[in-house]
Amino acid sequence: MPLTHAQRKSIVALHRKKERLRERKFLVEGVKGVADLLASDWQVAQLVATPAWQAPDHPDLPPVLEVSQDELQRVSALDTAQQVLAVVHMPGESVESDTVYHGGRVLALDDIQDPGNLGTLLRLADWFALDALVCSPGTVDRFNPKVVQASMGSLFRVRVQTASLPEFLRNLPPDTWAAGAFLEGDNLYKTPLPDQGVLVLGNESQGIRPETEARLPLRLHIPRRGQAESLNVATAAAIFCSEWTR
């Protein structure tokens, strides 16, 4: 059964950040992404699927709108639609959490712009069981369809806060370890790393902003042996997290 014009319009509108924020909803696509969603406590507003999708036995599953592959493609944010699409309510945001450090290992992101990078960073935080990601307001929207897809379900398992990083760092409890990833600084492999603290990663092209850097007592770098100018931020994060949790 084809979607109505109104249904199609409301789903396609969620491709845009402005509409996601206005509606407080976003899209999750694909068999794995929707399975991870349904395994979480996030609230599903609507499911649209082709006959190929096998709906799981789930007590809170909303009615499924069954459509053709062509119809699903018309509303998908992907190049090729993947059997099922879910419209999901955004979780509530805690004002108190914005600038407060709750302990544990935290990765702070200073204006990361690439959706694929943010999705990968969510997967890294999930893999290494970090306690949170703290994103600056200038970081790409984590509900961007490309971020959701690249996170491979980790979006639903990783705590994410949005905060001004200079303010977040200023509010850290005394003696909290905090460091930034730079091209120059102390050698990562020769620096003692504590069990808890905050590691800041900067923008893909500009790095950590000066106002954030001013709040960091420690600069760390990954030693370079070859001639590459820099590492992709997600690649660098994987190296830092591996060493931090080793």
> Has residue 105 got a pLDDT over 70?
yes
> Has residue 95 got a pLDDT over 80?
no
14 and 101 both lie in a single domain: no
Q: What is the pLDDT of residues 108-132, one digit of tens each?
A: 999 999 999 999 999 999 999 999 9
Question: Which residue(s) pair with 27 in the sheet?
Answer: 87
- Whole-prediction pTM value? 0.92
Last residue of a domain, one of 89, 114, 131: 89
| Greater pLDDT, 83 or 99 | 83
| pLDDT-based confidence at residue 62 (cuts at 50, 70, 90) | confident
| pLDDT-based confidence at residue 1 (cuts at 50, 70, 90) | low
84 and 163 both lie in a single domain: no
Using an 8 Å Cβ cutoff, are 164 and 72 in contact?
no
CATH number of the domain within which 84 lies: 3.30.1330.30
Last residue of a domain, one of 39, 74, 89: 89
Q: Domain count for the chain, please give it.
A: 2
For residues 91-121, one letter each, b for 16 or more C-beta atoms within 10 angstroms of the residue's C-beta and e for the rest, the string is eeeeeebbbebeeebbbbbbbbebbbbbbbb
177 and 141 both lie in a single domain: yes
At residue 25, the pLDDT reads: 97
| pLDDT-based confidence at residue 97 (cuts at 50, 70, 90) | low
> Which residue range forms the structural domain that includes residue 173?
96-244
End-to-end alpha carbon distance in the chain: 53
| Greater pLDDT, 83 or 97 | 83
> Has residue 148 got a pLDDT over 60?
yes
> Has residue 96 got a pLDDT over 60?
no
Task: Tell me whether strands 84-89 and 25-29 are parallel, antiparallel or unpaired.
Answer: antiparallel
At residue 46, the pLDDT reads: 95
Proportion of the chain above pLDDT 90, given as a percent: 89
At residue 175, the pLDDT reads: 93
Residue of 220, 244, 245, 246 lying closest to 231 (CA atoms): 220
